[in-house]
Every structure is written in C-alpha cells, then in structure tokens.
C-alpha cells in the first residue's frame, strides 16, 4: 500500500507517495512539531512539549514529558504500538534549538508482518 509523503509536493499532477514505515515517521514528526491548538479542525492535536520553556525542559521531570509524548502518539498514530519514547541530549544544537532529540521506537504491522520502528527527531 502507498501513503502520501510529507511535505505534500505535487509533481506531474500527482502527490508523492511513500511506504508505511516512512508514513509513520512523517506522522510522528508532524505530531512532535505541532503545538496543541495549531490545527483548528483538531484542537488537541500536537505535542505539549512546546508549552515548556527551555529551562523547564532541562529541569522538569522527563518521565512526565515522555509519558505525555507517548500519550499523544498513542492517540494520533494508532498504527504504532508498544511505543517507547526517550530523550537524547544534543550537544551541538543550534542556539534556538531545545537541545533535545526525541527517540521513538515501537512496532507496527505491515500486512501479515510485524515490523520494528525506530526514529529520532530533533526538537527546536
């Protein structure tokens, strides 16, 4: 099965397509980069990490943030299950970056096969 690729690019009258794994990766990337309330048709969609200040990110209970991210993925990316979220500090991040990389792993079904998923997303 083919899925729409992000960003949407129209070429020769068609939108680009991708496979299931990449579609899940795009979906999680969009979820993690969207502030709640940014999508009027789905006001709860997004990741509340953007409500935190940089200093809060560095000092707050990371287990709470991971649980919040995992919850958002559970709600909005139902193709992925057994989701695990972890943080990796980014030493050489841009000055405006939150300085964190979110690593998301889990499983998904592609037809009759169970596949592993693992992707990293830099925040900021």
For 41-112, strand residue ranges (E) read 81-89, 100-110
Number of domains in the chain: 1
- CATH number for the domain spanning 89: value is 3.10.450.40
Burial zone of 121 (CB within 10 Å; 0-12 exposed, 13-18 middle, 19+ buried): middle
Backbone dihedral angles phi then psi of residue 5, each to the nearest 5 degrees: -90, 150
DSSP assignment letter at 5: -
Backbone dihedral angles phi then psi of residue 27, each to the nearest 5 degrees: -60, -45
Bridge partners of 3, per DSSP, are 18
pLDDT tens digit at each of 124 positions of the chain: 777 776 667 777 777 778 999 999 999 999 988 888 898 999 999 887 777 655 555 556 678 788 888 999 999 999 999 999 998 765 554 555 556 788 999 999 999 999 999 999 987 6
- Residue ranges making up the domain that contains 38: 3-123
Whole-structure pTM value: 0.79
């Amino acid at each position: 099965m083919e899925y729409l690729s992000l960003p949407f690019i129209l070429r020769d009258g068609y939108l680009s397509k991708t496979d299931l794994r990449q579609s899940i990766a795009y979906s999680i990337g969009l979820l993690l980069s969207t502030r709640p309330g940014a999508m009027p048709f789905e006001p709860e969609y997004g990741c509340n990490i953007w409500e935190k200040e940089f200093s809060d990110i560095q000092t707050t209970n990371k287990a709470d943030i991971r649980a919040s991210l995992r919850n958002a993925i559970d709600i909005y990316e139902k193709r992925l299950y057994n989701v695990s979220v972890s943080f990796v500090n980014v030493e050489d991040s841009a000055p405006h970056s939150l300085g964190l990389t979110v690593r998301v792993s889990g499983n998904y079904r592609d037809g009759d096969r169970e596949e592993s998923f693992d992707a990293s997303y830099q925040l900021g």
